[in-house]
Amino acid sequence: MTDATARGANGFRYIGRRRRAVEHRRFVLGQGRYAADLRLPGMLHVALVASPHAHARIVAIDVAAAAALPGVEAVLTGEELQQQVDPMLPGVDAPKVARYPLARGVVRYCGEWVVAVVAATRAQAEDAAELVRVEYEPLAHAGDAASAMREDAVLVHPEHGSNVIFQRKFRWGEVDAHFAAAARQLSYRVRWGRSSTVPIETFGVTCAWNDADGLLDVWASIQMPKYPDQLARCLRLPGNAVRVHYDIDVGGSYGVKRGLKHTVLVGYLARRLGRPVRLLEDRLENMRGGDMQGPDRQFDVTLAFDDDGTIRSMRMRAIDDIGAYSGRAPLQLGKPVGAIVGPYRIASVEYEAIAVLTHKTPQEAVRGFGQSPTNYAIERGMDKVARALGMDPVELRRRNLIGADEFPYLIPSGTTYDSGDYEVVMDKALRAASYDELLRERDALRSSGLLAGVGLSTCLEPSGGNSSFEPLFNARNETTTWMDSCLVRIDLGATVTALIGTSSSGQAHETLVSTVVGEVLLREPDSIRVLHADSLNALPSNSPVGSRMAIMLGGAAAGAAKKLRAKLLAMGAYRLGAQVDAVDYVDGAVVLRADASCRVSWEQLVDIAHRKHHELPPGMEPGLQEKFVWEVPTGGSLPDADGRVQMYPCHSFESHVVLASIDPLTGKVSLLRYVVGHDCGVMISPDVVHGMTYGGVAHAVGASLMEKFAFSDEGQLLSGTFMDYLLPSAEEVPAIAIVDHCTPSPLTEFGQKGSGEAGYLGGPAAIANAVNDALAVRGAAIDSLPMTPQAVWRALREAANHEGTTA
Amino acid sequence: MPSCVTIRMTVNGKAVERTVEPRQTLVDFLRDELGLTGTHVGCEHGVCGACSVLLDGQPVRSCCMFAVQADGLQVTTVEGLAPARGRLSTLQDAFCEAHALQCGYCTPGMLVACHALLERNPHPGEAQIREAIGGNLCRCTGYQQIVDAVKLASSQELCHD
Amino acid sequence: MKAAPFDYLRADSLEQALHELARHGGDAKLIAGGQSLVPMMAMRLARPSVLVDIHRLAELRGWQVAGDAVRLRAASRQCEVEADAGLAGAVPLLRAALRWVGHQQTRNRGTVGGSLVHADPAAELPLAAAVLQARLHLRSERTERCVDAADFALGPMFTTLADDECLVAIDWPTWSVGEGEVLRCEFDETAIRHGDFAMASVAVQLVLDASGVCRRAAIGLGGVDATPLAFPDLAAQLHGRRIDASSAAEVAQAAAARCQPGSDMHADAEYRRHLGAALLQRALLRAAGEPVAGAAF
């Protein structure tokens, strides 16, 4: 590295430079601080008794034998708990769909918690849990969305009156006219399988109640907006009686670490028992009762287009099976409204979103919050249209991608895309993949007897996570801000500390904030400490969801640092007897522009602020500490009557190019080449962005080829272990090449956009397109994820049989 | 009630002795009895590899054995990979440099698997690296930067500085 | 996922281990590498009240030539067997199979005998044993017997091993190869994720003469029935023939027709049967050095 104070090609000193993540050192030394690492004196452990039925009436519960076991401190049933806590509310207007940590009277999915056992050790708690006798009367169940939507369906929540918890048809633009004017139409159905992010760390939480202070301390592997507030409400505690410690390292989340029900249970137990209580999900509890399964969607789409490939309009109906209870799940149909046309110039859209309750493990927020399934549905359509027209899929996209000169670009559903250069990014990816050569390689594979295909996707990653889907899907919810914040202080020793109000689950927020604060204050980022405050010390945060922290936390940190810089400038100018506009801020010192020898050093400025009130400008607050709370740019408004609203502010773009082969004997897919062109504006930490993109692609490999929460006809989860729910290993994930591009966002401090969901948002679409390109040679197609060997083999066989009958 | 067993082993070079329930797994023993929380629990059924430790120098899954089975043996955990307090091994250093981790949860197991690989094959190829970490699941990195880190470590002198 | 309580005893000798087994009846269980047993205990699918540890018994480790076979003692670790060049030379199918078994971490603990006794119908080593017609030496305090691999496994996770018996050694037949002949073996399987139990697996061992004619063959399939299946009579049909697409297909179809596969979420019976035929056909062609074409559906 050259001069440490030099600015890079991007005009920044620290932003965009390779820098080791601050967090790494503790992790490689085994000194992370995860929820399971916490040990409190007298801590008790919870094990759970779960429902073995998809739907049953609880006839009787006998806890006597369990309670009598040595070491057992409590055996809690839903009968008691539901009287002592308030329900967790669904994300939509469905107050009768009440959700509690423990079932009472009826169980609604296999794995639902029925009884909690508290003992001195987890092993003892499990011993006792085995002795709890629950008598059930099994009931008929609704096993999938189709059957749950029938007139005579068994109701998951009879009080709600229907299994459909949300349904709305939006029409944006002249859909009928555009359809009538289009030369052609194409209808198709695609299915997104029930998968999730499945972090390697399960959810864990420890709570301790202090009688004297009336305070509940919470340490959890949490990634959830407004967790302390919701927890306090459920526990009927004042907001300031719950203190969530955000200095817990979270072992992966990507959306799902939202153990509110776990925490309500453990918080209640800790208070009742007066002892610290811990619940660490084991993997079985996590998979079936951890309530973290992801979207499970069927899309019916019709595209209207012209012979030249222009897509004029789209009708899309999405039915999502959200499982037995509702949290954020229905809203995952809402976020895609903000990118419902993808990166394309589609003039009108009809979108019907239907969220259905079934007797399955509930769905939780998953990386992309519903966008990746929608991208998959759109991108499959692009390839189908290309095939129908006999057009190269690249050319079809070229004709429909929004042009670089068209930004800001308003889409029919009310969101304005901030900036982009889609065609250039696609071309970069194609070039990096040597597209023509890739096609030749594909053809060579085909002539060697394999099936092979090339797949492409061009997709958006809406970022800067706002919650406009809340009022859009629930008129009673008028939330129009999803602020984030940061506090920065300079201590007497002249070092800088920043406080953030969230935990991190691998996004390197300490690195982000110290880089940003260093950039603004022109101090070496490695000298800046970043702390995760607790919820009573911290300013508001909406947590790292919706690819928002580079934008929102980065913006908040910059805002606080800028306030400090302004203060330092004012102090320096005063000390120099100059006007503020006559001085410059140079590497922490304030320098008279006209005479650089007149300067007040960083140390002097700090000294004045903390010790020399007589040298402070009159009326200025002593000390050096500033906070900044940032509203999401473009946020603040409610949807109009037609459901038009600005969803997220920034829009990152990615273009995937994949070469896949299929073993025609087994149906097994291998990914041979993988390139991602990616534009998330200005990258603050390039390694972090690339890392998340690689990880997103790996997750895409899982979702498209391997991972599924499958249920039996009886509603039993068939993939409740890591032996059946298959996360891809290093041998399934290919080497991945990323090509960067930078179109700065005009809405953010440094031009950055979000990237936490990168790779995952376009991966399944591209992989599915590659597999289908390979299958097309045999007249076969597959439009259901995951594309397992068996499913691919079946698609090939059906095509062969069909050919046999029509030949 | 089954009887407890007194076991002795060498963990990260230190002799330890504890009396444990036979049913305690090695990973629970390391974490709960010895406070070595660097070794993580991911699945407890032998798939994810987060609990990998070296047993007599060979990587094993510490969730798939009981502590009593390790009686008399040498155990090295992630805490024992660094050459000295305040320093990083070449591999740990390479993991930091190549950004081979994000949330850090699988990292200790990954380090153990890669450490063992480099011990027996100082210059592994890409396929060998992927095979060696094939039993360690990571949900953050897509493995790319882990592979890069191992290559980086193998390109440097293994002086453990 | 914590195991139910149990007592633990590390045996100092096989004698002692057998005595403990006899003493506790069905309540005691042997543990060697524990790579299957410990997870089952963690899920409380297995709950012995006494565990007798035989992992370190020197008398249960190592191998020697015994007539026309290699006698491999049962607690030999999979990693040791994999790394042993002499063993690989004598019984190459063993190493070919071990490449597919789990991962380095599991092979470092797991034993050959443990895998056979666990008797997962999709596991690699039981298939290799069935195909090579290995002989298993079982001992208890009261008896000693030798069982053919084909008779050892009775069903999924179910063998002829009595509660008080221990698998002490496995005789892996070695094949003599005449002048100008070559021994070829092929192990292949299809799993969605590498290292997992296969949806179907195949093992083939052939002796080809100088002109490429098959002089001896052994074939088998795993994951497609309650136990791994060997097909000595079908293999015999290949003797004296050149293995080509048609003879391989004929034998593979006949073998698959005999399978009665189970179903799970990843592979139903029909797909498993197809895989069995496809993998066997391909493995035969590969072993014979014949070109493998993409299959017609």
In degrees, rounded to 5, the angle at the alpha carbon of residue C132 between the alpha carbons of residues C131 and C137 is 115
Nearest-neighbour CA in chain C from A38: distance (Å): 19
State the Cα–Cα distance between residues A101 and A93, nearest whole angstrom. Answer: 20
Nearest-neighbour CA in chain C from A77: distance (Å): 21
A588-602: average pLDDT: 97
Q: What subunits touch chain C, counting only 3 or more CB pairs under 8 A? A: A, B
For residues A548 and A492, state if they share a domain: yes
The verdict on a CB contact (< 8 Å) between A690 and B145 is yes
Residue A475 resides in a domain: no
* pLDDT tens per residue across span A392-442: 999 999 999 999 999 999 999 999 999 999 999 999 999 999 999 999 999
Please report the pLDDT score of residue C291 as a whole number.
87
State the Cα–Cα distance between residues A20 and A685, nearest whole angstrom. Answer: 9
Q: What subunits touch chain B, counting only 3 or more CB pairs under 8 A? A: A, C
pLDDT of C293 over the 80 cut: no
Do the interacting molecules here have an ipTM over 0.85?
yes
State the Cα–Cα distance between residues A707 and A760, nearest whole angstrom. Answer: 14
Letter string b/e over residues B111-135, b meaning 16 or more CB atoms within 10 A of that residue's CB = bbbbbbbbeeeeebeeeebbbbbbb
For residues A577 and A715, state if they share a domain: no
Residue A338 resides in a domain: no
Please report the pLDDT score of residue A1 as a whole number.
42
For residues A76 and A225, state if they share a domain: yes
Please report the pLDDT score of residue A13 as a whole number.
97
A-C C-beta contacts closer than 8 Å: 83
Closest chain C residue by Cα to residue A284: C1
A462-488: average pLDDT: 95
Amino acid at A231: L
Q: What subunits touch chain A, counting only 3 or more CB pairs under 8 A? A: B, C
Closest chain C residue by Cα to residue A663: C294
For residues A392 and A487, state if they share a domain: no
- Between residues C215 and A9, which one has the greater pLDDT? C215
C144-148: average pLDDT: 98
State the Cα–Cα distance between residues A357 and C290, nearest whole angstrom. Answer: 55
Residue A17 resides in a domain: no
Fold of C182-287: Enolase-like; domain 1 (3.30.390)
Q: Phi then psi for A438, rounded to 5 degrees? A: -60, -40
* pLDDT tens per residue across span A557-575: 999 999 999 999 999 999 9
pLDDT of A96 over the 80 cut: yes
Q: Of B25, B46, B58, which has the smallest distance from its Cβ to C35's Cβ?
A: B46
> DSSP letters along A493-538, please?
TS-EEEEESS--SSS-HHHHHHHHHHHHHT--GGG-EEEE-BTTTS
Instruction: Write down the domain spans for chain C.
Output: 7-53, 58-173, 182-287
Please report the pLDDT score of residue A386 as a whole number.
98
Q: What is the dihedral of CA C56, C57, C62, C63, to 10 degrees?
A: -150
pLDDT of C294 over the 80 cut: no
| B 69-128 near A (Cβ less than 8 A) | 77-79, 82, 88, 92, 95-97, 99, 101-108, 111, 126
| B 82-141 near C (Cβ less than 8 A) | 113, 116, 132, 134-135
A-B C-beta contacts closer than 8 Å: 182
Please report the pLDDT score of residue A598 as a whole number.
97
State the Cα–Cα distance between residues A389 and A690, nearest whole angstrom. Answer: 36
Percent of chain A clearing pLDDT 90 (strictly above): 97
State the Cα–Cα distance between residues A360 and A111, nearest whole angstrom. Answer: 9
Architecture in CATH of C58-173: 2-Layer Sandwich (3.30)
Nearest-neighbour CA in chain C from B6: distance (Å): 11
**Domain B90-155 has what CATH class?**
mainly alpha
For residues A63 and A126, state if they share a domain: yes
A595-599: average pLDDT: 97
Please report the pLDDT score of residue C81 as a whole number.
97
The verdict on a CB contact (< 8 Å) between C4 and B45 is no
**Domain C7-53 has what CATH class?**
alpha beta
The verdict on a CB contact (< 8 Å) between C103 and B134 is yes
For residues A516 and A613, state if they share a domain: yes
Instruction: Write down the domain spans for chain B.
Output: 5-80, 90-155
Q: Of C2, C193, C278, which has the smallest distance from its Cβ to A122's Cβ?
A: C2
For residues A533 and A458, state if they share a domain: no
Percent of chain C clearing pLDDT 90 (strictly above): 97
Please report the pLDDT score of residue C297 as a whole number.
41
pLDDT of B1 over the 70 cut: no
CB of C2 less than 8 A from some CB of A: yes
* pLDDT tens per residue across span A605-664: 999 999 999 999 999 999 999 999 999 999 999 999 999 999 999 999 999 999 999 999
Please report the pLDDT score of residue A7 as a whole number.
86
Half-sphere exposure of A688 (CA within 13 A, CB side): 31
Are A279 and A262 in contact, with CB atoms under 8 Å apart?
yes
* pLDDT tens per residue across span A269-288: 999 999 999 999 999 999 99
The verdict on a CB contact (< 8 Å) between B1 and C5 is yes
B-C C-beta contacts closer than 8 Å: 92
> Which domain CATH number covers A243?
3.90.1170.50
Classify burial at A784, counting beta carbons within 10 Å of its beta carbon; exposed 0-12, middle 13-18, buried 19 or more: middle
Architecture in CATH of B5-80: Roll (3.10)
Domain boundary residue, one of A597, A630, A663: A630
* pLDDT tens per residue across span C148-199: 999 999 999 999 999 999 999 999 999 999 999 999 999 999 999 999 999 9
Percent of chain A clearing pLDDT 70 (strictly above): 99
Chain A residues whose CB is inside 8 A of the B79 CB are 29-31
The verdict on a CB contact (< 8 Å) between C265 and A708 is yes
From the list C84, C53, C93, C61, the residue with the least C-alpha distance to C222 is C93
Please report the pLDDT score of residue B161 as a whole number.
41
Residue C271, phi-psi category: left (phi > 0), alpha (psi -120 to 50), beta (remainder)? alpha
pLDDT of A203 over the 50 cut: yes
Q: Of B1, B3, B135, which has the smallest distance from its Cβ to C106's Cβ?
A: B135
Closest chain B residue by Cα to residue A200: B42
Nearest-neighbour CA in chain A from B72: distance (Å): 24
Domain that holds residue A603: 483-630
The verdict on a CB contact (< 8 Å) between C53 and B69 is yes
Q: Of C2, C292, C297, which has the smallest distance from its Cβ to A126's Cβ?
A: C2
Residue A6's pLDDT band, with cuts at 50, 70 and 90, is confident
Closest chain C residue by Cα to residue A730: C194
Q: Of C5, C194, C275, which has the smallest distance from its Cβ to A666's Cβ?
A: C275
Gyration radius of chain B over CA positions: 16
> DSSP letters along A414-459, please?
SPEE----HHHHHHHHHHHTTHHHHHHHHHHHHHTT-EEEEEEEEE
A173-181: average pLDDT: 98
Q: What is the dihedral of CA A191, A194, A199, A201, to 10 degrees?
A: 180
Evaluated on CA atoms A457, A458, A463, A467, the torsion sign reads negative
For residues A116 and A224, state if they share a domain: yes
Residue A331 resides in a domain: no
For residues A571 and A687, state if they share a domain: no
Q: If you average pLDDT over every residue of chain A, what do you get?
A: 97
For residues A616 and A707, state if they share a domain: no
> Which domain CATH number covers A460?
3.30.365.10
For residues A608 and A747, state if they share a domain: no
Best mutation site among B105, B126, B146 for testing chain A: the one with the most A CBs within 10 Å? B105
Domain boundary residue, one of A280, A309, A343: A280
Chain A residues whose CB is inside 8 A of the B104 CB are 23-24, 26-28, 32, 249, 251, 506
In chain A, the number of structural domains is 3
* pLDDT tens per residue across span A111-158: 999 999 999 999 999 999 999 999 999 999 999 999 999 999 999 999
Please report the pLDDT score of residue A4 as a whole number.
63
For residues A601 and A712, state if they share a domain: no
* pLDDT tens per residue across span A618-634: 999 999 999 999 999 99
Please report the pLDDT score of residue A803 as a whole number.
79
Q: Of C4, C192, C275, which has the smallest distance from its Cβ to A127's Cβ?
A: C4
Cα separations in angstroms, A659 against A366, A453, A734 = 26, 6, 10
Quick check: do B5-80 and B90-155 share a fold?
Answer: no
A583-599: average pLDDT: 97
Please report the pLDDT score of residue B157 as a whole number.
58
Please report the pLDDT score of residue C296 as a whole number.
40
Residue A48's pLDDT band, with cuts at 50, 70 and 90, is very high
Structure tokens at C229: 């299946």
Closest chain B residue by Cα to residue C102: B135
Chain A residues whose CB is inside 8 A of the C197 CB are 723
A455-469: average pLDDT: 96
Residue A7 resides in a domain: no
Half-sphere exposure of C124 (CA within 13 A, CB side): 27
Domain boundary residue, one of A255, A280, A305: A280
CB of A40 less than 8 A from some CB of B: no
The verdict on a CB contact (< 8 Å) between C108 and B134 is no
* pLDDT tens per residue across span B63-98: 999 999 999 999 999 999 999 998 999 999 999 999
Please report the pLDDT score of residue A5 as a whole number.
72
- Residue A188 DSSP one-character state: E
Residue A636 resides in a domain: no
* pLDDT tens per residue across span A717-765: 999 999 999 999 999 999 999 999 999 999 999 999 999 999 999 999 9
